[in-house]
Amino acid sequence: MKIIVLDGFALNPGDLSWDGLRSLGDVTVYERTADTEILNRAVDADILITNKTPLSAQTIAGLPTLKYIGVLATGYNVVDVNAAKERGIPVTNIPTYGTASVAQMVFSHILHLTQHVKEHSDTVYAGEWERSIDFCYWNYPLIELAGKTIGIIGFGRIGQKVAQIARAFSMKIIAYDAFSEKMDPSLAEFVDIDTVFRDSDIVSLHCPLFADTEGIVNEERLKSMRSTAFLINTSRGPLVDELALTTALNNGVIAGAGLDVVSTEPILKDNPLLMAKNCFITPHIAWATAEARGRLLDTAVSNVEDFINGTPANVVNS
Ligand code: NAI
């Protein structure tokens, strides 16, 4: 089997091993592949592995020997899964690997917004503590999480993990999920989406990006939030109207935001959020701890193995 990895670098910049995949066939790993290079590189591939390199219907049609597509992520919107299905090509994803890591990033942003460890440390190294007439000082409001309300939108794997951590901080948990009637009411108080925005000190987004969730954080909902509230988005950038969020942050409509994802990635130079007050952005790394990437690669290898053995798993287009 000829196996081509189109864009292996983001998953494995060198600290993981491709040996598991190599044991299953003749493997070529490309760090990145431009759209114009796909057909050349994959023309005789049996198995194609992609993370974010798009595989359109036209590209799939140009790959006559292709038998399987493995996506190195949970989201598989980069592949035209229907075009693959028409050719009888299974497309697989990695349904879960990063739950703990993403929930940890949510609290990295929350703890940063509530205590500003980095900014305070920077002032110490800049000599501000030496010059202080008091034994301590703080340059940002310091906020205790105990007793605060976290509002979770999308109460799936990551949302529930965030709730579990929030409980350890003695926070009150409210949540909105499209399927909340099927969920355990002991895990959160389920409310409607507008109540989440109105009644939370922190709103954290954990629903997938669908047509009906795009822009769920809009001007009106931001205006309904507490002026002391924070928004956390580790899910997908287009859930948020970025211009509306920038305006809300710059006008004190809400107090801060912690974002791991933006509408276009890598971020564009003119993304308005780069000019927003008390807004902190990480470059889509919530998934990328070494542990989570290791789990992802193990699942990707076992997906290929299952396919070769005639028992494909994690197929998203059956
Ligand atoms: P999940 O599928 O376990 O949970 C998603 C939840 O959202 C489900 O409970 C579902 O019922 C709910 N939902 C669906 N439509 C909804 C709607 N219209 N309104 C409210 N809730 C709705 O997914 P999981 O594993 O918790 O991941 C959540 C999201 O996190 C993913 O869709 C992905 O966008 C994002 N993610 C981000 C990563 C990062 O590195 N920043 C890494 C992994 C996932």
The answer to whether residues 180 and 207 touch, using CB atoms and an 8 Å cutoff, is: no
CA angle 111/114/118 to nearest 5° reads 70
1 closest CA partner among 67, 70, 64, 87: 67
Instruction: Determine if the peptide bond prior to 266 is cis (ω within 30°).
Output: yes
Cα–Cα dist 145/110, whole Å: 9
| Confidence at residue 108, expressed as pLDDT on a 0 to 100 scale | 98
Task: Give the distance (Å) from ligand 1 centre to CA of residue 169.
Answer: 23
Please give the distance, rounded to the nearest whole angstrom, from the Cα atom of residue 24 to the centre of ligand 1.
32
What is the rounded distance in angstroms from the CA atom of residue 288 to the CA atom of residue 286? Answer: 6
For 270-282, the DSSP string reads T-GGGG-TTEEE-
Secondary structure, 3-state, 107-171: HHHHHHHHHCHHHHHHHHHCCHHHHCCCCCCCCCCCCCCCCCEEEEECCCHHHHHHHHHHHHCCC
Q: How far, in Å, are 67, 90, 318 from residue 87 at the CA level?
A: 9, 9, 12
Instruction: Kindly give the number of the ligand 1 atom that is closest to the alpha carbon of 236.
Output: 34
Q: Which atom of ligand 1 is nearest to the CA of 161?
A: 26
Confirm or reject: Cβ of 236 under 6 Å from ligand 1: yes
What distance in angstroms lies between residue 195's CA and the mean position of ligand 1's atoms? 19
Domain(s) labelled CATH 3.40.50.720 in the chain stretch across 2-95+290-308, 99-281
Q: Is the CB of residue 79 below 6 angstroms from any atom belonging to ligand 1?
A: no
What is the rounded CA–CA span in Å between residue 69 and residue 209? 22
CB-CB contact of 219 with 248 (8 Å): yes
Reading the block at residue 263, the tokens are: 């509408």
Residue 106 near ligand 1, beta carbon < 6 Å: no
Q: How many residues does the chain have?
A: 318
Task: State both tokens at 33.
Answer: 């592949």
Residue 296 CB less than 6 A away from ligand 1: no
Cα–Cα distances (Å) from 310 to 32, 65, 303, 304, 306, in that order, read 29, 17, 11, 10, 6
Which ligand 1 atom lies nearest to the CA of residue 183? Answer: 9
Q: Give the ligand 1 atom nearest the CA of 235.
A: 35
**Domain 99-281 belongs to what topology?**
Rossmann fold (3.40.50)
How would you classify residue 250: left for phi > 0, otherwise alpha for psi between -120 and 50, otherwise beta?
alpha
Cα of 206 from ligand 1 centre, angstroms: 5
Task: Tell me, rounded to whole angstroms, the distance of Cα 13 from its chain centroid.
Answer: 19
- Ligand 1 contact, 207 CB (< 6 A): yes
Q: Which residues of 164-182 are buried (b: 16+ CB within 10 A; e: fewer)?
A: ebbeeeebbbbbbbeeeee
CB of residue 213 inside a 6 A radius of ligand 1: yes
Q: Tell me, what's the pLDDT at 290?
A: 97
234 touches ligand 1 (CB under 6 Å): yes
Residues assigned a catalytic role: 236, 265, 284
Per DSSP, the chain holds a count of helices (H) and strands (E) of 12, 12
pLDDT number for residue 77: 86
2-95+290-308 is a CATH 3.40.50.720 domain:
yes
Q: Which residue, by CA, sits nearest to atom 35 of ligand 1?
A: 235
pLDDT tens sequence for the chain (318 residues): 999 999 999 999 999 999 999 999 999 999 999 999 999 999 999 999 999 999 999 999 999 999 999 999 988 989 999 999 999 999 999 999 999 999 999 999 999 999 999 999 999 999 999 999 999 999 999 999 999 999 999 999 999 999 999 999 999 999 999 999 999 999 999 999 999 999 999 999 999 888 999 999 999 999 999 999 999 999 999 999 999 999 999 999 999 999 999 999 999 999 999 999 999 999 999 999 999 999 999 999 999 999 999 999 999 999
